[in-house]
Amino acid sequence: MTDAAITAGAAPHGQGPRATLSAAEARLKKRYRSEMWFKAQGIAAIVVAMIFLVVLVGRIVAQGYTTFETHSISVPVYLNPDRIDRTALDGVNYDYIVAEAVMKKLNIQDDDLGTTSGKVMDLVSRDLGFQLLDKIKADPSVIGKTIEVTGPVKADADLYYKGEIKRATAEEDRKLDNQQLGWLDQLEKSGTVKGGFNFGFFTKSDSTEPEQAGVLGAVVGSALMLIITAMIAVPVGVMAAVYLEEFAPKNRWTDVIEVNINNLAAVPSIVYGLLGLALFINWLHVPRSSPLVGGLVLALMALPTVIIATRSALKAVPPSIREAALGVGASRAQTVFHHVLPLAMPGVMTGAILSLAHALGETAPLLMIGMVSFVPGVPEGFTGASTVLPVQVFIWENASERAFHERTAAAILVLLIFMIVMNAAAVILRRRFERRW
């Protein structure tokens, strides 16, 4: 710019108008170049953001989709009466009985030290053993008969079938040795092991064994927690917004409340966790890691956003509606509750759903109130110990087994699907019912 200005300024004396023109052209060219450059930077920024989005979602889908396929094994198991002590059913080594059945399928014999059966046990989930126990407990007469059981293979075997543990890897670097891989191939060829959709992932809860771990408990926990959050944050938030927008006199107190709400919306979520720990758990003795205490904390967190969304929805209702209602003799409360609030309802609901979706994905405050504990099974109610989806993601991410990593990604996919559904509901609500005046 400055260079161009100097040459342009110096030119007229010597070379006449032609030079001026070329200098101006050069300047223009330069300006257009910088225009192009600036535009390119903007495009680059958008492209970078989009690449991040694609990589983020793509990686999670790539890591997680394999979870939805799983391999299960069906074997006829002979319940040898000599091995099963009827007086102490819980003490029987059912895993060994299952391993025997698998070895029979494979046509191999156990050695004296039990290394072969140990290796076979590493391939089959303990779930089959538990199934045997349940069947015997339900009907002791099955002892001595042969029954067919079906259950998942161990996570490592499953990873081999899906090609994530490869034969090409050096034997000492993988969890399964060549002999075990040979057996797995043999089992698959004979049809004993079959692949299929992983229903277990949606019907089971957390477990220490990856192949038996599912998200049902976390989904139920999330649902219970969101119910508490919605029941507190939405009514309280809407009523607070109605007061501030429609009834409150403009004085110092309402100013304090307004500033307060704006600041609360920006408080880090972990601080709400500290509040929940100090107030609800240590002072009021609400049960730790229950959906109740989680819901209360998230309700406090969601409250400011619900208030802000409701206020803007109420602001969008034109004053003529209020004036008309007041004009025909309605009281202020009647005006608001019979006319203004119903008209603002689509906006209110959109805001409420969005802040609930945000609460659904929140993790940090829940770690403070003890939700990191291992909870097998579906939560028993609002006050029982429970876990929620994002915390389940956090717990599984910390687990060392590789099979948990794909489950983490799959749990994220479930979480994202719930969030997309909620967001889509909000968008549809806005599109269908929003009125422009």
Q: Pick one of 12, 52, 86, 199: the residue that binds other proteins (CB under 8 A).
A: 52
Residue 234 near other proteins by CB under 8 A: no
Q: Is 264 within 8 Å of 258 (Cβ atoms)?
A: no
Decide the pairing of beta strands 69-78 and 146-152.
Answer: antiparallel
Amino acid at 199: F
Kindly tell me which residue out of 353, 409, 414, 429 binds other proteins, with binding defined by CB under 8 A. Answer: 409
Nearer to other proteins, 79 or 388 (CB): 388
For position 307 contacting other proteins by CB under 8 A, the verdict is: yes
Whole-angstrom CA distances from 191 to 10, 64, 74, 185, 247 are: 90, 26, 9, 10, 73
- Per CB under 8 A, the segment of 2-10, 200-208, 213-221, 244-252 that binds other proteins is 244-252
d(CA 357, CA 420): 9
Nearer to other proteins by Cβ, of 108 and 416: the residue is: 416
Length of the chain: 437
Element (H, E) at 131: helix 127-138
CA distance 388 to 209: 19
Among 362, 379, 385, 403, which residue sits at the site for other proteins (rule: CB under 8 A)? 362
Q: Per CB under 8 A, does 300 bind other proteins?
A: yes
Closest CA to 404 of 56, 3, 66: 66
Is 227 a binder of other proteins (CB under 8 A)? Answer: no
Alpha carbon distance 94, 334 (integer Å)? 70
Q: What would the two tokens of residue 315 be?
A: 């602001």
Of 133, 248, 326, 343, the one binding other proteins by CB under 8 A: 248
Beta-bridged to residue 78, according to DSSP, are: 146
Per CB under 8 A, 45 contacts other proteins: yes
Applying CB under 8 A, which of residues 108, 133, 326, 364 lies at the interface with other proteins?
364
Among 42-50, 73-81, 121-129, 152-160, the segment contacting other proteins (CB under 8 A): 42-50
Show the site string, 255-294: x = touches other proteins by CB under 8 A, - = not: -xx--xxxxx-xxxxxxxxxx-xxx--xxxx---------
| Nearest C-alpha neighbor of 352 from the set 416, 251, 426 | 426
| Residue 357 in contact with other proteins, rule: CB under 8 A | yes
Q: Are 375 and 349 in contact (CB under 8 A)?
A: no
Question: Applying CB under 8 A, does 430 fall inside the site for other proteins?
Answer: no
Nearer to other proteins by Cβ, of 73 and 415: the residue is 415
Q: Is 223 an interacting residue with respect to other proteins (CB under 8 A)?
A: no
Interacting residue with other proteins among 2, 13, 46, 400 (CB under 8 A) = 46
Considering the rule CB under 8 A, would residue 239 count as an interface residue with other proteins?
Answer: yes
Binding mask of the shown chain, residues 116 to 155, with x at each position contacting other proteins by CB under 8 A? ----------------------------------------
Largest CA distance in the chain: 116
Cβ-defined contacts of 254-261 (< 8 Å, 24+)? 261/304, 261/307, 261/308
1-40: contacts with other proteins (CB under 8 A) = 31-32, 34-35, 37-39
Give the span between the Cα atoms of 220 and 241, in whole angstroms: 31
118 or 384: whose CB is closer to other proteins? 384
> Which of the 8 DSSP states describes residue 107?
T
Residues in contact with other proteins, total (CB under 8 A)? 88
CB of 188 to other proteins, least distance (A): 29
Structure tokens of 247? Answer: 């009834």
Give the span between the Cα atoms of 211 and 403, in whole angstroms.
8
| Distance set, CA 226 to CA 104, 175, 278, 345 (Å) | 50, 41, 21, 20
Residue 361 touches other proteins, criterion: CB under 8 A: yes
Nearer Cβ to other proteins, position 142 or 248?
Answer: 248
**Closer to other proteins at the Cβ: 117 or 305?**
305
Which of residues 167, 332, 338, 435 is near other proteins by CB under 8 A? Answer: 332
Out of 348, 353, 368, 429, the only residue in the binding site for other proteins (CB under 8 A) is: 368
Binding mask 382-401 for other proteins (x = CB under 8 A): --------xx-xx--x----
Count the Cβ atoms, other than its own, within 10 Å of residue 62.
Answer: 12
